[in-house]
Structure 1
């Protein structure tokens, strides 16, 4: 119990520091020099050391890169040994639009409303009256949902995205595809359901170009986040990947179409997670991810880490 309390305190402190750095202008100013020093030290440490240490910390066992067996092990092996220029393009939330248009068609794209490389351009006059989301193209920090632009402190918004444009997600995760993305701010139409709520995203995990399973997260922005995994026939898979089971969800009518286009997008990659939104019967592409949770998320039923790992075929080094 004492150790668990210490871990909880440590996690809380880490979250407070992270929020202070990323969301507070004063915190950013104070902590930025320390973060740059930390990043400089990180740059000097080889990728393999960072990845192996992070894996042990999150997963509780040593990462075997010589003979990876679990899904999480294989994702981390791919981080180190499966690096293609195409990954940088499709990890870029702006440039991936071209890839998606060429592969499956522009009708699957969320409408792009604005983009810029300069945070100073984030002024109300440049942005639409309708609901939208502002995000960066080069990291996984989420985005800023805007339903009424007259209610925002735009000076704070500009500072927030100025800070984000300076970040490089690669150095903390060693997910290589983020290293050389040219930072940009992207503004897209906010997708909503009939009642104004944010739609569920369907995360299709594809192994060697074919769907393995579909992940659904519930209450993503709430206190109790839950998750279900389904097979391609929409049968609930009896395992928990990092989170407890969520509510029962009806099989989407156009599931087959979603799987079809996901497998087209996944064809060029060993492992990839393709995200879609389903809004008013229409499928919209969300993003492509190469290492879910950076390959550091444990299964509650550990045997499923091995079961899914066995499905994913990689060409290990001789």
Structure 2
């Protein structure tokens, strides 16, 4: 614990740029070029440091983003919201419904699934959430959009697909307003895998941060999901739009501006630069 505290304090007061360059070299083993970024990860870091707006903060907030979604595509795409609170003790058996839910902080990553509240130990969860509310996720990756989010806890209905399982997570990587790649996450609870496709549903022969998974059946409403993702992507240079689909009904998951914090590995490594060619950055303002 003392070692972690010393590490945190060491990098707390250095600039975002110096911290990002250090972490980039540590994780990806090549230098971060911010003057003329070429790779996908380099461009994500450029956006992290220089593309900062209040809208990014609103849309990184898992509660406030619901207003953005409602105005852009309509509230029918929203997962039913059960509870919003700043008090972890409100996450208890009395407050929750008699069906599966997901509990998550609005200002960071991670989620807690409660399938049966009668079999759940809430004290442990309350302690974890209490710690989460005190953390500022910005300091982990220097993703500015998280810095000014007011921490809260949200509870949503847990989506269940036709087979009674948690549905696949379709993540649309949108560059300059257009969906370019679709990442499908599966087996997230025990053997996390990612399978990537282009918008024609042709499987891509590379890995990104996790092993490549099995073939995924093309969703029957793929074109509609692409349309929805591009509507939500219009306001951003890059954004990953996460969607679910159950019985052809589309649900919004979240918006992510820097997947893996801009430190995600590719296999083979050259894919990082190939994807970078697909993303056009604006000129940096002085």
- In structure 2, the partner of 1:44 is 13
Alignment-derived partner of residue 152 in structure 1: 120
User: More deviation in 237-246 or 256-265?
Assistant: 237-246
Aligned twin of 1:21: none
SS in 1 for 2:150: coil
Instruction: Give the structure 1 partner of residue 140 of structure 2.
Output: 172
Counterparts in 2 of 1:1-80, with a 5 A limit?
31=1, 38-80=7-49
Equivalenced residues, count:
285
Q: TM-score, normalised by structure 1?
A: 0.86
1:262 aligns with 2:229: yes
Q: CA deviation at 1:130?
A: 0.9
* Corresponding residue for residue 20 of structure 1: none
Separation in 1, partners of 2:173, 2:211: 19
Tell me the SS of whatever aligns to 1:247.
coil
Question: What is the CA-CA distance between 1:236 and the residue it aligns to?
Answer: 1.2
Name the counterpart of 1:116. 85
Q: What residue number does 1:293 align with? A: 260
Say yes or no: does 1:215 pair with 2:196: no
Q: TM-score, normalised by structure 2?
A: 0.95
SS at match of 2:159: coil
- Would you say the 8 A contact 1:71–1:306 is kept in 2? yes
User: For the Cα contact (< 8 Å) 1:129–1:149, is it kept in 2?
Assistant: yes
The equivalent residue for 1:143 is 111
Q: Deviations for 1:191-241, whole angstroms, at most 9, x for unmatched residues?
A: 012332111000000001111110112211113x32221111111122222
**Cα distance in structure 2, aligned partners of 1:286 and 1:292:** 14
Judging by fraction of residues, say which structure has more helix: 1
Is contact 1:42–1:172 with CA below 8 Å preserved after alignment? no
Unaligned runs of 5+ in 2: none
2:251 is aligned to 284
Corresponding residue SS for 1:83:
coil
Pairing partner for 1:100 from 66, 69, 78: 69
Tell me the distance in 1 between the aligned counterparts of 2:6 and 2:70.
41
Deviation string for 1:50-92 (max 9, x for gaps)? 1001100111101111110000000001111110110000000
2:178 maps to 1:244: no
Separation in 1, partners of 2:116, 2:10: 42
Cα shift at 1:35: 5.4
What's 1:201 paired with?
169
**1:192 counterpart (160, 171, 194):** 160
- Please give the alpha-carbon distance, in whole angstroms, between the structure 2 residues aligned to 1:212 and 1:145: 31
Provide the rounded CA distance (Å) in 1 between the counterparts of 2:100 and 2:113. 8
Unaligned segments of structure 1, at least 5 residues:
1-30
Q: Is residue 285 of structure 2 the alignment partner of residue 315 of structure 1? A: no
8 Å Cα contact 1:115/1:185 also seen in 2: yes
Q: How does 1:129-140 map to 2 (within 5 A)?
A: 129-140=98-109
Does the residue aligned with 1:56 lie in a helix, a strand or coil?
helix
Q: Which moved more, 1:166-175 or 1:33-42?
A: 33-42
1:277·1:285 contact (CA, 8 Å) conserved in 2? yes
Separation in 1, partners of 2:131, 2:220: 42
Measured against aligned partners, the alpha-carbon deviations of 1:102-156 in whole angstroms (never above 9, x if no partner) come to: 000101000001110111222221111111011100001x211111111122222
Separation in 2 of the partners of 1:82 and 1:76? 10
